[in-house]
Chains A and B, each alone.
Chain A
């Protein structure tokens, strides 16, 4: 619609440049053939080899992926079913549940982290992988609910009555009628849950403190000696995966937009 002026274009380019320079330099130095993170001395894949040889880093990567997968499946399931049942709750109860639901979303991470730390401490539950997973499920469920619940509300209620009138059991109605209609919300919720879990630091750190369990973030934070370019190699791989996903999403939305325009 409106064309950007020269000033606003310059401003945009500068900000984007500032955002991306660190990320690009991170990737560039993953190919450095010396240990320096400041001077590029030549191209090598040495750090990628070292990355896959490092047991501790690979353990952290494995923990991160394991926790993300388990907590995504659990929170998507719990959150989706919870969102469906919300519509059946009485109004006051639903409002209370949704208010509590929003607490971990609006609170800064450290508040949620402290709350889990206190919870596991008070009940003398030993912190470790299990508590980390529980914490991840707990902070992901509210996001799944706020993503899925609007879709449940948009659903055509007549279809559900029609389904039960035609003799479907509640379970059949859920599986064949309700879930397909809110599919987009469920996928979006699961995607949010996965990324939140994958990137989480503060909550994981508090929820598993005192144990040897480390995800990527905790590994980076507790690293005693200076960071090596192996970390850059790991980052570059993560950035590659995220970049591919985002590019894919971008072209998908562009395609959808074009179809809408037609």
Chain B
């Protein structure tokens, strides 16, 4: 079967590899090189000036960069913790064999398949000062106590906009991780819970002593996925703040800052070099986070 084998392999791999190299690998590696240059982008490749790490030094001194990074940090703390807590909670509730479980699963998972743009537009209405549900509900509750609640611009106020953006991300993410954990939990043999029950363990003990440890690998994966998502947030911030990054850039994140610097047509004299530098920083942050979280969540893996 050797005849023509290599020719066949080559012919089948040629186009996918070519496309991938040109449009994925070259850009990825090109970003590293580009981040070391100064380049207005209207000139051709050879007019790019090599500037060494000057772009990175400029980043270090850039207040907006640290502002965006800080926000990513906040998302990084809040998004995984809240999402995983809710997802684990709901998954645990599900394994009790409830009626209508299928209905709930189908409903909870749906936000995950919706377009982020549609979700963000939807939530920009929900957070709307006058017609939005959030203010409507708060207003109704407040008036029950005889108070008055005036229209509050959740997305327009620099103190609340980041929180609102994170809330939307959580809303979309919980269903996915819940389904992930349910799938993982279904692999845990019933005998373990039986034995624990006989030994007198209550639901809480069963959860923390059996479910969580056996689900740990899945939880670790979820943490990495969510950390990566926390470093993205591009669509959420862009649509919910109309591209501005929020009042006084209160919801700006690295991805939106990078877009703004590279394509925003501002007064940046070196859009592509500077933008690439931010992209490279993002890469190293993500790689570093993935490695760190893998390290810190390392446990002796329980085999069963």
A and B associate:
no
